[in-house]
Amino acid sequence: MAYAVSQKLHVTENLINRLGLEKELVGHTGCVNCLEWNESGQILASASDDMNIILWDPFKYEKKLVLHTRHHGNIFSVKFMPKSNDRILVSGAADGKVRVRDLTLFEPIFSCNCHIGRVKRIATATTVPFLFWSAAEDGLILQYDIRAPHNCKTNECNSVLVNLVNHMGRCAEGKCISVNPKKPELIAVGANDAYIRMYDRRMIKLSQVPIMSSPHSHMTRGIVRMRRRAARGDPDENVPLGCAQYFIAGHLHSRQREGNRCLTTTYLTFSADGNELLVNMGGEQIYLFDINNPKSMKTCFGYSSNMYLGDYGKSYVEKNAEDNTDFTKKNVKILPPHVEELKRQANESFGQQKYTLAINLYNKAISYCPTAAVLFANRAAAYMKRTWDGDIYAALKDCQTALLLDPGHIKAHFRLARCLFDLHQSTEADTVIKDFQQKFPEYASNSACKALRMDIKEAVDSGRDNHEPMILISKYEREWRRNTIDYKMRFCGHCNTTTDIKEANFFGNNGQYIVAGSDDGSFFIWDRSTTNIIRVLRGDERIVNCLQPHPSTCLLATSGIDPVVRLWSPLPEDGSVNEREILNLEDAASANQIRMNSDPFEVTLMNMGYRFPVQQAELNEDGDDNEDQSYVQPLNCRPS
């Protein structure tokens, strides 16, 4: 009972509001690239560009051990092997090597040179304490068993779980990896694209590692063979078609870049209950996926005259609906007083062109009343005005949800057509706008409707739809991408374009908060239920990369470009000012959105304190403009 109470009080709103810098742990001489708590939370491990691992006592702020790893490159990942009494430590580095050390022995007990690319992440699973996995930039995902001898030079080294090159092509890189804590057979992998891959390793036959021709060669016979097989699939179908499930934010389908930014998964992690997957998408936002959704969500572009498709929208109402076949019965037309007040404030903010504030207020209102079509329709309008990365697609989702609850919602129907057009889905936009004119003939002659109809017709006639680019991928990869699952929640405000190790994590015993670092030197804390930013704290002079919550108390460890580890905990309520707190959350988020869409020279100016103006548009005061004739243009991207 006492344990349950302590877990419930682990992280509360009051503690989050008091979070501040407790201590800086000084010991490294380079960037600190990874942090890892042991299972009890009594030891914190950190690893750095200085190629050392330090074990800290986080409560005495003392070094317990400085380990000179003999790596010859920056260390990107360190893990305690489960059930080893914190005695066995695994590390992966830029030298392509994976090392396993028993801290009671002088020499490593296990060393792997199979990778020829930088090893970016190591993963372990509590329920299988003898296995661990690595993801590297050579495109290989390897599985290791510390009970068995490992010899990189033999032809019998069958350690390859997944060879991404066989499916993605010769440029495939593994960036991050995570094992489901409740279902350790499920392994999620992030690569240098926008797709998140989840494999059931029980269905996979381990294959042979490409063999190096010489210990100093940068190209090997095995790698040459692997490159020749690039995108042709596994030669022996080691990874069967049914073993993988892919996830993606729908608007990123088939895109390798966003403006001048490459899309790369920099970090992913499963929730404690194993039901969700949190992903930090480099060059974009943070996304939360439901891994148990049995339905394929091939983005939300599907439309028919009888039903607006989109499982994302259904997710809001299904959990509150007894009859899942008729969502209109659940539509709340008369809002509770406190929700009506939030809607009024949101509409007022919308009229003042404070779109982020309006969205935050609509988010709160929807968290209280998740089956009110008007709230989704109004939030869609705010997204369309703000136009941050992914906002138009988020607006499309909201329009679909509004129409699921209220098929006769005129403005949601019209905005759906505009969203599809803005997302270069002109054929479907044409279907929607024609259906709009038939259902609501009184609006067919409206100037906004006529203008949009002409724009859509021109796009359809000219064939300007954003077709999937012809890229060489395996037939299995094509099928996996065709059956992706879309995100269910999105967290915006940070900037993730400069480093490829930037983390995002659940914070709290129920994952009630989301934390992530940013290129502006801050780290952000979001409320999970509303997706709103609730705190921003200055965590590094340049960039915060790593954030690892303590397993059982309200304590957060962070690191980044600075050669220190910082510990954050609730400060005393003595009225003192938290000098590391960023007070204007909306300005911080807006500046990061500009930063993500700016060329390197503009980013340099921003780091010097210069701020670029954001174009605004005149709006109606009610925050529910039917014609939507003027809206903020997307931020312009210039190639770097």
Per-residue pLDDT tens digits for 69-108: 999 999 999 999 999 999 999 999 999 999 999 999 878 8
Q: How confident is the model at residue 321 (pLDDT cuts 50, 70, 90)?
A: very low
Question: What is the reported pLDDT for 631?
Answer: 34
Is the pLDDT higher at 4 or at 278? Answer: 278
Question: What is the reported pLDDT for 600?
Answer: 58
Strands 19-26 and 32-37: unpaired
Listed range (453-462, 520-529, 535-544, 622-631) with the worst mean pLDDT = 622-631
Question: What is the reported pLDDT for 81?
Answer: 96
Query: What pTM did the predictor assign?
Result: 0.90
Question: What is the reported pLDDT for 2?
Answer: 43
Question: What is the reported pLDDT for 298?
Answer: 54
Question: What is the reported pLDDT for 481?
Answer: 95
Q: Answer left, alpha or beta for residue 631, where phi above 0 means left and psi between -120 and 50 means alpha.
A: beta
Q: Which of 515, 517, 473, 478 is nearest to 495 (CA)?
A: 517
The tally of CA atoms less than 13 A away on the side-chain side of residue 440 is: 17
Domains and CATH numbers, the chain: 327-424+426-462 (1.25.40.10)
Is the pLDDT higher at 201 or at 154? Answer: 201
Check pLDDT > 50 for residue 152.
yes
- Mean per-residue pLDDT over the chain, rounded: 86
Q: What percent of the chain has pLDDT over 70?
A: 81
Mean pLDDT within 551-575: 95
Alpha carbon distance 500, 546 (integer Å): 11
| Three-class SS state of 37 | strand
Tell the residue number behind the tokens 């404070």, with chain if given: 354
Contacts of 207-210 spanning 24+ positions with Cβ under 8 A: 207/158, 207/160, 207/163, 207/234, 207/236, 207/238, 208/155, 208/156, 208/157, 208/158, 208/160, 209/114, 209/140, 209/142, 209/152, 209/157, 209/158, 209/159, 209/160
202: CB partners within 8 A, 6+ apart: 185, 243
Question: What is the reported pLDDT for 633?
Answer: 35
Is the pLDDT higher at 615 or at 207? Answer: 207
Listed range (241-245, 297-301, 539-543, 580-584) with the worst mean pLDDT = 297-301
For residues 115 and 76, the answer to whether their CB atoms sit within 8 Å is no
DSSP 235-287: TT--S-GGGEEEE--GGGTT-SEETTEE-EEEEEEE-TTSSEEEEEEETS-EE
Check pLDDT > 70 for residue 619.
no
Question: What is the reported pLDDT for 86?
Answer: 93
Q: What percent of the chain has pLDDT over 90?
A: 74
Question: What is the reported pLDDT for 327?
Answer: 81
Question: What is the reported pLDDT for 148?
Answer: 86
Question: What is the reported pLDDT for 288?
Answer: 98
